[in-house]
Amino acid sequence: MRIAVYAFDGATMFHLAVPQMVFDEVARQGLAGWETVLFSDRAGEITTAEGYRLGGVKGPEAADKADIVVVPSWFDDGRMLGDSLRRVLQGAHVRGVPILGLCLGAIPVADAGLLAGRRAVTHWQAFDSLAVRHPDVPLDQSVLYIDHGDVLTSAGTASALDACLHVVRSRLGAEAANQVARSLVIAPHREGGQAQYIERPVPPSSTDDPISRLLEWALGRLGEPLTIDRLAVQAHLSRRTFVRAFRAATGTTPAAWIRARRLDAARRLLETTDLPVDQISADCGFGNTVTLRQNFAAAFSTTPTEYRRRFDTRVGAATSP
C-alpha cells in the first residue's frame, strides 16, 4: 500500500514524521508492504519550520497512485487551499482514496469540500477560525480523531499518532496496531479528546462595568453558593436585566460561566497541589466528589484523578489515589 504525505515549506519535522513513522513501521515489522512518499505542489525540496531542507520530494503526480493521501498539518497563517492540492484531494476522493487531515490538515480538507455537513476535529486553537470559515462543518473537541471511512480528521499535534494507529488497526487488526505501538513505545489507544487542553480565559475586566466587577467578586467566592439571584443582587440589577447583561458581556449564561470557572479552579488545584479530590470538590463549589467527577468528565472527557496524573506540575509529585 502506498501512502502519499503532503509536504510544504514551513511544515514541522514532527508533523511530517508521524505518518511516515507509524506507517513505515508496519513494513519494518513485516506486517504488510506499506510505503510512504512525500509529495508537494512541485517536485524538488521543501524547507521545514526548523530550517532543514528536505530533498527528493515528489510532485503532485505522486499522489495519483496512492492508496491513502495524508495532509499532516497546514501553514501557520491558515491560508486558503491552493489549486494543486485541491485537485489532488478532490481527485483522490473521487477515486475512493481515503483522505487524512491531521491536526491543522483538517483545514485544507474542509476547503476542498470534503467535510461539508460532517463532524470533524482539528487543533483546538483553530476551532474558531475553522468554524467561521466553514460553518457547515460541525467541530467536536471531545475526540482525538473522527473517521468517516473516506475522510479522517484528527485533533492537535500528537493526536496524529492516535489517528495513524487507528488506520493500522482498521486495516490490519488490533494485534498489528499493538505491535506497531509497542515498537514505537506509544499507547495503542487513548481515550478522551482535547477539551482538557483548551484555555478558557476570563473576559477582560473594567471597574466601570457592573458585570466585570461581579466576575471578579465571584471568582473569589467559587466555594460559596452562587445563585442567579445572589449574583443579580451583587450586580445591583434585576434578575432579568442581569441575565441579559451577563450574556452580552460573556457570551454565556451565569450558571455555565460559574461552572466553567469552578472547573478551571479545580484544574489548577489538581495541577499544583496534593489536596484530596473531595476537598477540591468542596473548595471549588461542587459540594461532593460525584458532582465534580460528573462535570469534569462532561467538560474534559477524563476524570480528576487521571487529569492530575497527566498534568501534575509539581517536580517529583506522586500520582494521587
DSSP secondary structure letters along 181-239: HHHHTS-S-----SGGG---PPPPP-TT-HHHHHHHHHHTTTTS---HHHHHHHHTS-H
Q: How big is the CA angle at 172 (ends 171 and 173), to the nearest 5 degrees?
A: 105
Distance CA 145, CA 123 (A): 11
pLDDT at 299: 82
Q: Is 21 helix (H, G, I), strand (E, B) or coil?
A: helix
**Between 2.60.320.10, 3.40.50.880, 3.40.1160.10, 3.40.50.300, what CATH number should domain 2-195 receive?**
3.40.50.880
pLDDT of residue 157: 82
Tell me the per-residue pLDDT of 187-236, one tens digit each, with 9 for 90 and over. Answer: 776 666 666 565 555 555 555 678 888 988 999 999 999 999 999 999 99
Strand blocks (E) in the chain: 2-6, 35-39, 44-47, 53-57, 68-71, 99-101, 145-147, 151-154
Chain segment 84-112, per-residue pLDDT in tens: 999 999 999 999 999 999 999 999 999 99
For the residues 259-264, what does the mean pLDDT come to?
Answer: 90
Cα angle at 145 between 141 and 148, to 5 degrees? 115
Q: What's the one-letter identity of residue 224?
A: E
What are the boundaries of each domain within the chain? 2-195, 210-311
- Using one digit for the tens of pLDDT, what is the confidence trace for 287-310? 999 999 999 988 887 899 988 887
Taking the C-alpha atoms of residue 277 and residue 197, their distance in angstroms, rounded to an integer, is: 20
Q: Which amino acid is at 319?
A: T
Q: Which one has a higher pLDDT value, 105 or 170?
A: 105
pLDDT in tens, 185-201: 887 766 666 665 655 55
Domain range 210-311, its CATH number among 1.10.1200.10, 3.40.50.2300, 3.30.420.40, 1.10.10.60: 1.10.10.60
Mean pLDDT, the chain, integer: 89
**pTM beyond 0.85, yes or no:** no
- DSSP label of 79: P
Does the pLDDT value for residue 320 go beyond 50? no
Q: Cα–Cα distance between 268 and 259 in angstroms, integer?
A: 14
